[in-house]
Structure 1
Protein backbone atom coordinates (compact mmCIF):
# COMPACT_ATOMS: atom_id res chain seq x y z
CA UNK A 1 0.00 0.00 0.00
CA UNK A 2 1.48 3.43 -0.93
CA UNK A 3 2.70 5.50 2.02
CA UNK A 4 0.44 8.46 1.15
CA UNK A 5 -2.64 6.23 1.06
CA UNK A 6 -1.69 4.70 4.43
CA UNK A 7 -1.48 8.14 6.00
CA UNK A 8 -4.88 9.13 4.57
CA UNK A 9 -6.50 5.97 5.91
CA UNK A 10 -4.96 6.58 9.34
CA UNK A 11 -6.27 10.16 9.40
CA UNK A 12 -9.72 8.95 8.32
CA UNK A 13 -9.73 6.32 11.08
CA UNK A 14 -8.79 8.91 13.71
CA UNK A 15 -11.45 11.37 12.53
CA UNK A 16 -14.09 8.64 12.31
CA UNK A 17 -13.37 7.41 15.83
CA UNK A 18 -13.47 10.97 17.15
CA UNK A 19 -16.92 11.52 15.63
CA UNK A 20 -18.40 8.22 16.87
CA UNK A 21 -21.40 8.66 19.17
CA UNK A 22 -20.45 5.58 21.17
CA UNK A 23 -17.60 3.08 20.99
CA UNK A 24 -17.96 -0.65 20.41
CA UNK A 25 -16.73 -1.29 23.95
CA UNK A 26 -19.41 1.00 25.38
CA UNK A 27 -22.06 -0.72 23.28
CA UNK A 28 -21.08 -4.12 24.67
CA UNK A 29 -20.84 -2.80 28.24
CA UNK A 30 -24.50 -1.76 28.16
CA UNK A 31 -25.56 0.03 31.37
CA UNK A 32 -28.15 1.91 29.34
CA UNK A 33 -29.90 3.53 32.29
CA UNK A 34 -26.61 4.89 33.62
CA UNK A 35 -25.66 6.03 30.12
CA UNK A 36 -29.00 7.85 29.82
CA UNK A 37 -28.44 9.63 33.15
CA UNK A 38 -25.02 10.75 32.00
CA UNK A 39 -26.21 11.96 28.60
CA UNK A 40 -29.19 13.77 30.13
CA UNK A 41 -26.96 15.50 32.69
CA UNK A 42 -24.84 16.72 29.77
CA UNK A 43 -27.90 18.29 28.14
CA UNK A 44 -28.03 15.92 25.18
CA UNK A 45 -31.40 15.56 23.47
CA UNK A 46 -33.50 12.39 23.33
CA UNK A 47 -32.65 12.06 19.64
CA UNK A 48 -29.21 10.87 20.71
CA UNK A 49 -30.59 7.42 21.59
CA UNK A 50 -31.36 6.76 17.92
CA UNK A 51 -27.76 7.55 16.96
CA UNK A 52 -26.54 5.28 19.74
CA UNK A 53 -28.84 2.46 18.60
CA UNK A 54 -27.68 2.80 15.01
CA UNK A 55 -24.01 2.81 16.05
CA UNK A 56 -24.42 -0.26 18.28
CA UNK A 57 -26.44 -2.07 15.63
CA UNK A 58 -23.29 -2.00 13.50
CA UNK A 59 -21.60 -3.99 16.26
CA UNK A 60 -24.62 -6.34 16.52
CA UNK A 61 -25.54 -5.02 19.97
CA UNK A 62 -29.11 -4.29 21.09
CA UNK A 63 -29.73 -0.97 22.89
CA UNK A 64 -32.32 -0.87 25.68
CA UNK A 65 -33.81 2.46 24.60
CA UNK A 66 -36.45 2.47 27.34
CA UNK A 67 -33.81 2.16 30.06
CA UNK A 68 -31.77 4.91 28.41
CA UNK A 69 -34.81 7.20 28.25
CA UNK A 70 -35.63 6.64 31.93
CA UNK A 71 -32.07 7.52 32.85
CA UNK A 72 -32.08 10.48 30.47
CA UNK A 73 -35.14 11.94 32.20
CA UNK A 74 -33.33 11.80 35.54
CA UNK A 75 -30.20 13.31 34.06
CA UNK A 76 -32.15 16.20 32.52
CA UNK A 77 -33.45 17.14 35.96
CA UNK A 78 -29.84 17.55 37.08
CA UNK A 79 -29.08 19.62 33.98
CA UNK A 80 -32.05 22.01 34.04
CA UNK A 81 -31.10 24.20 36.99
CA UNK A 82 -30.53 27.94 37.20
CA UNK A 83 -26.90 27.46 38.24
CA UNK A 84 -26.15 25.09 35.37
CA UNK A 85 -28.03 27.28 32.90
CA UNK A 86 -25.71 30.17 33.69
CA UNK A 87 -22.66 27.87 33.54
CA UNK A 88 -23.62 26.49 30.13
CA UNK A 89 -24.19 29.97 28.71
CA UNK A 90 -21.06 31.44 30.27
CA UNK A 91 -19.00 28.71 28.59
CA UNK A 92 -20.69 29.36 25.23
CA UNK A 93 -22.14 25.86 24.99
CA UNK A 94 -25.00 24.99 22.65
CA UNK A 95 -28.36 24.28 24.29
CA UNK A 96 -30.30 21.37 22.75
CA UNK A 97 -33.70 22.28 24.23
CA UNK A 98 -33.96 19.41 26.70
CA UNK A 99 -35.67 21.29 29.55
CA UNK A 100 -39.46 21.28 29.96
CA UNK A 101 -42.04 23.06 32.09
CA UNK A 102 -41.13 25.72 34.67
CA UNK A 103 -37.52 24.50 34.82
CA UNK A 104 -37.12 25.40 31.14
CA UNK A 105 -37.97 29.06 31.80
CA UNK A 106 -35.61 29.25 34.77
CA UNK A 107 -32.83 27.51 32.86
CA UNK A 108 -33.21 29.74 29.79
CA UNK A 109 -33.25 32.94 31.84
CA UNK A 110 -29.88 32.14 33.38
CA UNK A 111 -28.52 30.55 30.20
CA UNK A 112 -29.19 33.75 28.24
CA UNK A 113 -27.51 35.84 30.94
CA UNK A 114 -24.43 33.61 30.88
CA UNK A 115 -24.37 33.57 27.08
CA UNK A 116 -24.52 37.37 26.93
CA UNK A 117 -21.53 37.60 29.28
CA UNK A 118 -19.68 34.98 27.23
CA UNK A 119 -20.17 37.02 24.04
CA UNK A 120 -19.00 40.22 25.73
CA UNK A 121 -15.88 38.46 27.00
CA UNK A 122 -15.21 37.02 23.52
CA UNK A 123 -15.51 40.45 21.94
CA UNK A 124 -13.20 41.94 24.57
CA UNK A 125 -10.52 39.29 24.02
CA UNK A 126 -10.79 39.69 20.25
CA UNK A 127 -10.14 43.41 20.68
CA UNK A 128 -7.13 42.69 22.87
CA UNK A 129 -5.82 40.21 20.31
CA UNK A 130 -6.12 42.81 17.55
CA UNK A 131 -4.48 45.42 19.79
CA UNK A 132 -1.51 43.15 20.47
CA UNK A 133 -1.08 42.60 16.73
CA UNK A 134 -1.18 46.34 16.09
CA UNK A 135 1.48 46.91 18.74
CA UNK A 136 3.76 44.40 17.04
CA UNK A 137 3.15 45.92 13.60
CA UNK A 138 3.88 49.42 14.90
CA UNK A 139 7.06 48.28 16.56
CA UNK A 140 8.23 46.66 13.29
CA UNK A 141 7.42 49.86 11.36
CA UNK A 142 9.29 51.93 13.91
CA UNK A 143 12.34 49.67 13.46
CA UNK A 144 12.06 49.89 9.65
CA UNK A 145 11.85 53.68 9.75
CA UNK A 146 14.98 53.95 11.87
CA UNK A 147 16.94 51.89 9.34
CA UNK A 148 15.48 53.19 6.06
CA UNK A 149 17.64 55.39 3.77
CA UNK A 150 15.03 55.82 1.03
CA UNK A 151 12.82 58.92 1.16
CA UNK A 152 10.02 57.24 -0.81
CA UNK A 153 10.13 54.21 1.46
CA UNK A 154 10.11 56.40 4.57
CA UNK A 155 7.04 58.28 3.28
CA UNK A 156 5.23 54.99 2.69
CA UNK A 157 6.22 53.73 6.15
CA UNK A 158 5.11 56.99 7.78
CA UNK A 159 1.72 56.72 6.07
CA UNK A 160 1.28 53.10 7.18
CA UNK A 161 2.41 54.00 10.71
CA UNK A 162 -0.15 56.84 10.93
CA UNK A 163 -2.92 54.53 9.73
CA UNK A 164 -2.07 51.88 12.33
CA UNK A 165 -1.83 54.46 15.11
CA UNK A 166 -5.28 55.75 14.18
CA UNK A 167 -6.68 52.20 14.30
CA UNK A 168 -5.00 51.67 17.66
CA UNK A 169 -6.64 54.80 19.09
CA UNK A 170 -10.04 53.60 17.86
CA UNK A 171 -9.41 50.24 19.54
CA UNK A 172 -8.51 52.04 22.77
CA UNK A 173 -11.83 53.88 22.63
CA UNK A 174 -13.63 50.58 22.09
CA UNK A 175 -11.75 48.96 24.99
CA UNK A 176 -12.65 51.93 27.17
CA UNK A 177 -16.22 50.60 27.30
CA UNK A 178 -14.94 47.58 29.25
CA UNK A 179 -12.91 49.57 31.76
CA UNK A 180 -9.22 49.18 32.48
CA UNK A 181 -9.49 45.59 33.76
CA UNK A 182 -11.86 44.15 31.18
CA UNK A 183 -15.47 43.04 31.51
CA UNK A 184 -14.95 41.05 34.71
CA UNK A 185 -11.44 40.72 36.08
CA UNK A 186 -8.01 42.21 35.80
CA UNK A 187 -6.30 40.93 32.65
CA UNK A 188 -2.58 40.21 33.24
CA UNK A 189 -0.36 42.07 30.80
CA UNK A 190 -3.01 44.64 29.86
CA UNK A 191 -1.48 48.09 30.30
CA UNK A 192 -3.36 51.41 30.71
CA UNK A 193 -4.97 52.78 27.57
CA UNK A 194 -2.64 54.77 25.36
CA UNK A 195 0.52 53.59 27.15
CA UNK A 196 1.99 51.83 24.11
CA UNK A 197 0.36 54.10 21.55
CA UNK A 198 1.81 57.26 23.11
CA UNK A 199 4.36 59.26 21.12
CA UNK A 200 6.84 58.76 23.95
CA UNK A 201 6.90 54.98 23.47
CA UNK A 202 7.53 55.10 19.70
CA UNK A 203 9.35 58.34 19.15
Structure 2
Protein backbone atom coordinates (compact mmCIF):
# COMPACT_ATOMS: atom_id res chain seq x y z
CA UNK A 1 0.00 0.00 0.00
CA UNK A 2 1.25 3.52 -0.85
CA UNK A 3 1.74 6.04 1.88
CA UNK A 4 1.07 9.75 1.35
CA UNK A 5 4.78 10.53 0.81
CA UNK A 6 5.15 7.96 -1.95
CA UNK A 7 1.86 8.97 -3.56
CA UNK A 8 2.62 12.69 -3.72
CA UNK A 9 6.11 12.68 -5.22
CA UNK A 10 7.01 15.73 -7.34
CA UNK A 11 7.12 13.63 -10.51
CA UNK A 12 3.64 12.22 -9.86
CA UNK A 13 2.23 15.64 -9.07
CA UNK A 14 3.70 17.11 -12.25
CA UNK A 15 2.38 14.18 -14.30
CA UNK A 16 -1.10 14.60 -12.78
CA UNK A 17 -1.03 18.35 -13.44
CA UNK A 18 -0.06 17.79 -17.08
CA UNK A 19 -2.88 15.28 -17.52
CA UNK A 20 -5.34 17.72 -15.96
CA UNK A 21 -4.12 20.54 -18.21
CA UNK A 22 -4.47 18.32 -21.28
CA UNK A 23 -8.04 17.44 -20.31
CA UNK A 24 -8.92 21.08 -19.70
CA UNK A 25 -7.32 22.23 -22.96
CA UNK A 26 -8.95 19.57 -25.16
CA UNK A 27 -12.21 21.50 -25.69
CA UNK A 28 -10.21 24.60 -26.67
CA UNK A 29 -8.17 22.67 -29.20
CA UNK A 30 -11.29 21.05 -30.67
CA UNK A 31 -13.08 24.39 -30.94
CA UNK A 32 -10.00 25.94 -32.58
CA UNK A 33 -10.31 23.35 -35.37
CA UNK A 34 -13.76 24.66 -36.30
CA UNK A 35 -12.52 27.45 -38.53
CA UNK A 36 -15.73 29.28 -39.39
CA UNK A 37 -19.39 29.28 -38.36
CA UNK A 38 -22.24 29.18 -40.89
CA UNK A 39 -23.02 32.86 -40.23
CA UNK A 40 -19.37 33.82 -40.74
CA UNK A 41 -19.35 31.88 -44.02
CA UNK A 42 -22.31 33.90 -45.32
CA UNK A 43 -20.71 37.31 -44.68
CA UNK A 44 -17.00 36.53 -45.14
CA UNK A 45 -14.74 38.89 -47.03
CA UNK A 46 -12.59 36.13 -48.47
CA UNK A 47 -9.68 38.33 -49.47
CA UNK A 48 -9.52 39.86 -45.98
CA UNK A 49 -9.84 36.38 -44.44
CA UNK A 50 -7.00 35.12 -46.63
CA UNK A 51 -4.85 38.09 -45.67
CA UNK A 52 -5.48 37.47 -41.95
CA UNK A 53 -4.67 33.77 -42.36
CA UNK A 54 -1.45 34.52 -44.23
CA UNK A 55 -0.40 37.16 -41.71
CA UNK A 56 -1.00 34.61 -38.92
CA UNK A 57 1.19 32.02 -40.66
CA UNK A 58 -1.65 29.65 -41.54
CA UNK A 59 -0.81 27.37 -44.43
CA UNK A 60 -2.45 27.30 -47.85
CA UNK A 61 -4.61 24.31 -46.91
CA UNK A 62 -6.66 26.51 -44.56
CA UNK A 63 -9.06 27.26 -47.44
CA UNK A 64 -9.96 23.55 -47.52
CA UNK A 65 -11.28 23.69 -43.95
CA UNK A 66 -13.32 26.79 -44.85
CA UNK A 67 -14.74 24.92 -47.84
CA UNK A 68 -15.75 22.07 -45.56
CA UNK A 69 -17.19 24.33 -42.84
CA UNK A 70 -19.06 26.56 -45.26
CA UNK A 71 -20.55 23.68 -47.26
CA UNK A 72 -22.91 23.14 -44.30
CA UNK A 73 -24.24 26.66 -44.86
CA UNK A 74 -24.47 26.17 -48.62
CA UNK A 75 -21.69 28.71 -49.14
CA UNK A 76 -18.70 28.17 -51.38
CA UNK A 77 -15.65 30.24 -50.36
CA UNK A 78 -14.09 32.43 -53.03
CA UNK A 79 -10.78 30.55 -53.14
CA UNK A 80 -9.27 32.96 -55.66
CA UNK A 81 -9.95 36.01 -53.44
CA UNK A 82 -8.80 34.10 -50.35
CA UNK A 83 -5.54 33.13 -52.11
CA UNK A 84 -4.91 36.72 -53.25
CA UNK A 85 -5.28 37.87 -49.65
CA UNK A 86 -3.18 35.00 -48.33
CA UNK A 87 -0.39 35.80 -50.80
CA UNK A 88 -0.21 39.34 -49.37
CA UNK A 89 -0.59 38.30 -45.73
CA UNK A 90 2.05 35.59 -45.82
CA UNK A 91 4.63 38.16 -46.90
CA UNK A 92 4.09 40.04 -43.64
CA UNK A 93 4.46 36.78 -41.71
CA UNK A 94 7.53 35.34 -43.43
CA UNK A 95 10.17 37.56 -41.89
CA UNK A 96 13.28 36.61 -39.95
CA UNK A 97 11.86 38.32 -36.85
CA UNK A 98 8.69 36.21 -36.98
CA UNK A 99 10.70 33.05 -37.63
CA UNK A 100 12.74 33.82 -34.52
CA UNK A 101 9.59 34.36 -32.42
CA UNK A 102 8.03 31.12 -33.61
CA UNK A 103 11.25 29.24 -32.90
CA UNK A 104 11.67 30.68 -29.41
CA UNK A 105 8.05 29.66 -28.76
CA UNK A 106 8.93 26.12 -29.89
CA UNK A 107 6.66 26.14 -32.95
CA UNK A 108 8.76 23.89 -35.18
CA UNK A 109 5.79 23.01 -37.41
CA UNK A 110 5.85 26.54 -38.86
CA UNK A 111 8.94 25.76 -40.96
CA UNK A 112 7.05 24.81 -44.13
CA UNK A 113 4.61 27.71 -44.38
CA UNK A 114 7.19 30.16 -45.76
CA UNK A 115 8.84 27.80 -48.21
CA UNK A 116 8.92 29.48 -51.61
CA UNK A 117 8.28 32.96 -50.18
CA UNK A 118 10.74 35.83 -50.83
CA UNK A 119 12.12 35.71 -47.27
CA UNK A 120 11.39 32.01 -46.76
CA UNK A 121 15.01 30.92 -46.34
CA UNK A 122 15.73 33.73 -43.86
CA UNK A 123 12.54 32.84 -41.94
CA UNK A 124 13.60 29.19 -41.72
CA UNK A 125 17.13 30.09 -40.55
CA UNK A 126 15.75 32.37 -37.85
CA UNK A 127 13.20 29.70 -36.88
CA UNK A 128 15.99 27.13 -36.44
CA UNK A 129 18.02 29.59 -34.36
CA UNK A 130 14.95 30.35 -32.23
CA UNK A 131 14.27 26.64 -31.75
CA UNK A 132 17.80 26.23 -30.40
CA UNK A 133 17.06 28.97 -27.86
CA UNK A 134 13.82 27.22 -26.92
CA UNK A 135 15.64 23.92 -26.44
CA UNK A 136 18.41 25.49 -24.35
CA UNK A 137 15.86 27.27 -22.14
CA UNK A 138 14.04 23.97 -21.67
CA UNK A 139 17.32 22.26 -20.71
CA UNK A 140 18.06 25.01 -18.17
CA UNK A 141 14.57 24.67 -16.72
CA UNK A 142 14.90 20.87 -16.49
CA UNK A 143 18.26 21.20 -14.74
CA UNK A 144 16.79 23.74 -12.30
CA UNK A 145 14.08 21.23 -11.45
CA UNK A 146 16.64 18.44 -11.01
CA UNK A 147 18.85 20.64 -8.80
CA UNK A 148 15.88 21.52 -6.58
CA UNK A 149 14.97 17.85 -6.35
CA UNK A 150 18.54 16.90 -5.38
CA UNK A 151 18.70 19.71 -2.81
CA UNK A 152 15.52 18.37 -1.17
CA UNK A 153 17.07 14.90 -1.09
CA UNK A 154 20.27 16.38 0.36
CA UNK A 155 18.33 17.93 3.24
CA UNK A 156 16.86 14.53 4.08
CA UNK A 157 20.03 12.50 3.51
CA UNK A 158 21.48 10.96 6.63
CA UNK A 159 24.58 9.15 5.40
CA UNK A 160 27.80 10.97 4.50
CA UNK A 161 28.25 8.95 1.29
CA UNK A 162 24.75 9.83 0.14
CA UNK A 163 25.24 13.55 0.93
CA UNK A 164 28.58 13.57 -0.89
CA UNK A 165 27.05 11.92 -3.95
CA UNK A 166 24.16 14.39 -3.98
CA UNK A 167 26.54 17.37 -3.64
CA UNK A 168 28.62 16.03 -6.54
CA UNK A 169 25.50 15.70 -8.69
CA UNK A 170 24.42 19.25 -7.79
CA UNK A 171 27.90 20.62 -8.61
CA UNK A 172 27.85 18.79 -11.94
CA UNK A 173 24.44 20.24 -12.78
CA UNK A 174 25.59 23.71 -11.70
CA UNK A 175 28.49 23.43 -14.15
CA UNK A 176 26.07 22.32 -16.87
CA UNK A 177 23.84 25.29 -16.03
CA UNK A 178 26.75 27.68 -16.41
CA UNK A 179 27.61 26.17 -19.79
CA UNK A 180 23.97 26.29 -20.89
CA UNK A 181 23.57 29.92 -19.81
CA UNK A 182 26.69 30.87 -21.79
CA UNK A 183 25.29 29.00 -24.79
CA UNK A 184 21.92 30.73 -24.38
CA UNK A 185 23.60 34.12 -24.27
CA UNK A 186 25.39 33.39 -27.55
CA UNK A 187 22.22 32.00 -29.13
CA UNK A 188 20.15 35.03 -28.14
CA UNK A 189 22.63 37.29 -29.95
CA UNK A 190 21.48 35.68 -33.22
CA UNK A 191 18.08 37.36 -32.87
CA UNK A 192 17.32 39.25 -36.10
Q: TM-score, normalised by structure 2?
A: 0.69
Alignment partner for residue 83 of structure 1, among 91, 94, 97?
A: 97
Q: Secondary structure, in 3 states, of the residue corresponding to 1:177?
A: helix
Structure 2 residue aligned with 1:183: 184
Q: Secondary structure, in 3 states, of the residue corresponding to 1:118?
A: helix
Structure 2 residue aligned with 1:105: 121
Alignment partner for residue 42 of structure 2, among 11, 28, 41?
A: 28
Structure 2 residue aligned with 1:92: 106
The answer to whether the Cα contact below 8 Å between 1:44 and 1:96 also exists between their aligned partners in 2 is: no
The answer to whether the Cα contact below 8 Å between 2:54 and 2:88 also exists between their aligned partners in 1 is: yes
The answer to whether the Cα contact below 8 Å between 1:124 and 1:183 also exists between their aligned partners in 2 is: no
User: Over aligned residue pairs, what C-alpha RMSD do you find?
Assistant: 2.7
Distance 1:55 1:72 in 2: 18
The answer to whether the Cα contact below 8 Å between 2:111 and 2:124 also exists between their aligned partners in 1 is: no
Q: 1:13 to 1:102 in 2, by over 3 A?
A: closer
Q: 1:30 to 1:117 in 2, by over 3 A?
A: same
Measured after TM superposition, the shift of residue 14 of structure 1 is 6.3
Measured after TM superposition, the shift of residue 19 of structure 1 is 3.2
Greater relative contact order (CA < 8 Å, ≥ 6 in sequence)? 2
The answer to whether the Cα contact below 8 Å between 2:55 and 2:90 also exists between their aligned partners in 1 is: yes
Structure 1 residue aligned with 2:174: 172
Q: TM-score, normalised by structure 1?
A: 0.66
Distance 1:16 1:109 in 2: 31
Q: What is the CA deviation profile of residues 95-146 of structure 1, one whole-angstrom value per residue up to 9, with x for unaligned ones? A: 152322542122222222222222212211221122122223323x15xx4x
The answer to whether the Cα contact below 8 Å between 1:34 and 1:68 also exists between their aligned partners in 2 is: yes
The answer to whether the Cα contact below 8 Å between 1:88 and 1:114 also exists between their aligned partners in 2 is: yes
Measured after TM superposition, the shift of residue 162 of structure 1 is 4.2
Distance 2:26 2:142 in 1: 33
The answer to whether the Cα contact below 8 Å between 1:36 and 1:69 also exists between their aligned partners in 2 is: yes
Structure 2 residue aligned with 1:132: 148
Structure number, greater radius of gyration = 1
